[in-house]
Amino acid sequence: MAREFDRSGGRSVTEEVNIEHAENPSAYPPSIQAGIPKLGETPRGWTRYPLGDLLLKVERPARLTDNQTYQLVTAKRNRGGIVAREVLRGDQIKTKTQFYVEAGDFLISNRQISHGACGLVPPQLHRAIVSNEYTAFHAKEKLEPTFLNALMHSVYFQQTCFHSSIGVHVEKLVFRLEDWLKWAFDVPPLEEQRRIVAVLETWDRAIDQTERLIASKRKRFEGLLAQYAMKFHNERTEFGALVELISERVQPGVCDVPNESTELENIEPETGRIIGSSRVSAESALRSRFKAKDTLFGKLRPYLRKVAQPSFDGICSTEIWVLRSNPKVLNPDLLFFLVQTQEFQATATKQSGSKMPRADWDLVSTTPVPCPRAMDQQIRAAALLDSALQSIHPELKRLDAHRAQKRGLMQKLLTGEWRLDGRFEPAALTSRAVLPGDAA
């Protein structure tokens, strides 16, 4: 029942959409596009403007009242958009220089814009507040706000953000707003902007529908897991009596080990998928060795629920527990699900007060977990849970494909390489499917 995982990145690309990835130097995280921003010839019918001719900076100072509550927002990295933070009283907000934002503002985090922290303020966050570490803009009449929200995903846009920042460390860059506003951008007429947005929104709807289906199937899996825990509640055994914590350490470059390692970021939360791998060198830190069908559990920030059961031998970060079942008392496939039960998760995620909490093995090993004593019952339970989990994986691949196709479309449409005619008017797209090959 070993689960096969995609180690190439988990992305599929259709023949119709060819994704052209810009290479990121290894010194930078994936959120950064460090290449030199270059514009080719302006597409026919488009106009080249300095960014400052397209955006208008807006400021709405907020006078905080101690006993009044305020909604705070933040800009997520990797172009994750504008999302809510906490709601605080005025006397709880340390930075007193705050500004209101309104729905439709294009908001950037001056500290994190090089990492893609920007986006349109959604209607539900109208009149929220941000500190002076953010800048809000209105799109001028030449630019549709929704087109700007798509444009921020282009490689060129990301590169201009990075090259408008200075500093010696990628996490401490200082953004120079005036320099950024001088960069030139090629922009299509408003009607073509609307067509581009309408096409991309069809992919957004497909992505949203697939995410909803994944969430529904995930709830079914969690329900079955809860039923399993209730059924065998009276057959609980201390976790440490069922498994062994493997602590075989290896030094990359010294021992006979692969030059790739599974790190925390390679384990996709809640899905059990291992996405890609990380390169290691002789100078790298110690790693742990694991075997196929061991269970990997991310002990650093365990609330992230990073759990995997690899189908291959390898090495991993020491921030990951390598757990191996005692074959006399525990089926290895069931172990993968035991660490996802409420009993185990509740103990593993107990906070230690640290900003980077780690699960405590001494505490976890004494936690009673539901485990039938009969091996045939363990096998049947694992098979049922695995079937529910495996039903999610085709949808995850479909979601990967939709996202990859949208990225490819954006690079084609936002550079003018693919052009859209009247067939792609927003009203026309509501009555028919859109195919990438339709673009002219």
- DSSP characters over 2-55: PPP---S-S----SSS---PPPPPTTS-TT---SPP---SPPTT-EEEEGGGTE
pLDDT for the residue numbered 354: 66
**Cα–Cα distance between 256 and 253 in angstroms, integer?**
7
Q: Extract the tokens encoding 34.
A: 């460090």
Report the distance separating Cα 393 and Cα 203, nearest Å.
20
CB 255, CB 286: distance < 8 Å = no
Which element (helix H / strand E) includes 201?
Answer: helix 190-231
Q: How far is CA 171 from the centre of its chain?
A: 18
Query: For the structural domain made of 1-22+189-440, what CATH number should be given?
Result: 3.90.220.20
Question: In angstroms, rounded to a whole number, what is the distance separating the alpha carbons of residues 226 and 136?
Answer: 45
Write down the pTM of the prediction.
0.74
Residues 6+ apart with CB under 8 A from 168: none
**Cβ proximity of 101 and 129 under 8 Å:** yes
Domain range list for the chain: 1-22+189-440, 32-187
Residue environment code for 339-366, b if the CB has 16+ CB neighbours within 10 A, otherwise e = bbbebbbebbeeeeeeeebebeeeebee
Q: Give the C-alpha separation, 202 to 206, whole Å.
A: 6
| pLDDT at res. 25 | 41
Answer for the pair 119, 149: CB distance below 8 angstroms, yes or no: yes
- Nearest alpha-carbon partner for 334 in 326, 342, 345, 322: 326
Establish whether domains 1-22+189-440 and 32-187 are of one fold.
yes
Alpha carbon of residue 254 to chain centroid = 34
- Which residues in 26-57 are b (16+ Cβ under 10 Å) and which e? eeeeebbbbbebeeeeebeebeebebebbbee
Secondary structure element (H or E) that encloses residue 398, with its range? helix 393-413
The tally of CA atoms less than 13 A away on the side-chain side of residue 124 is: 5
Q: Measured between alpha carbons, how far is 416 from 11 in angstroms, rounded to an integer?
A: 25
Integer Cα distance of 302 and 323 in angstroms = 15
The answer to whether the CB of 160 falls within 8 A of the CB of 180 is yes
Task: Name 222's Cβ contacts closer than 8 Å, sequence gap at least 6.
Answer: none
| CA 141/CA 148 separation, integer angstroms | 12
The C-alpha atoms of residue 349 and residue 331 are separated, in whole angstroms, by: 24
Give me the pLDDT at residue 26, please.
46
Measured distance CA(158)–CA(162) in Å, rounded: 7
Q: How far apart are CA 287 and CA 76, in angstroms?
A: 31
- DSSP, residue by residue, 258-323: -SEEB-GGGBPTTT--B---EE--TTSPPEEEE-TT-EEEE-BSGGG--EE--SS-EEEETTEEEE
Judge contact between 2 and 393, C-beta under 8 A.
Answer: no
CA 235 to chain centre: 38
Torsion of CA 258, 271, 317, 312, to 10 degrees: -30
The two tokens of residue 402 are 């939709």
- Give CATH superfamily name and number for 32-187: DNA methylase specificity domains (3.90.220.20)
Give the pLDDT confidence score for residue 1 in this predicted structure.
52
Low-confidence ranges of the chain (pLDDT < 70): 1-27, 253-255, 257, 282-283, 351-355, 427-440
Q: Hey, is 150 helix, strand or coil?
A: helix
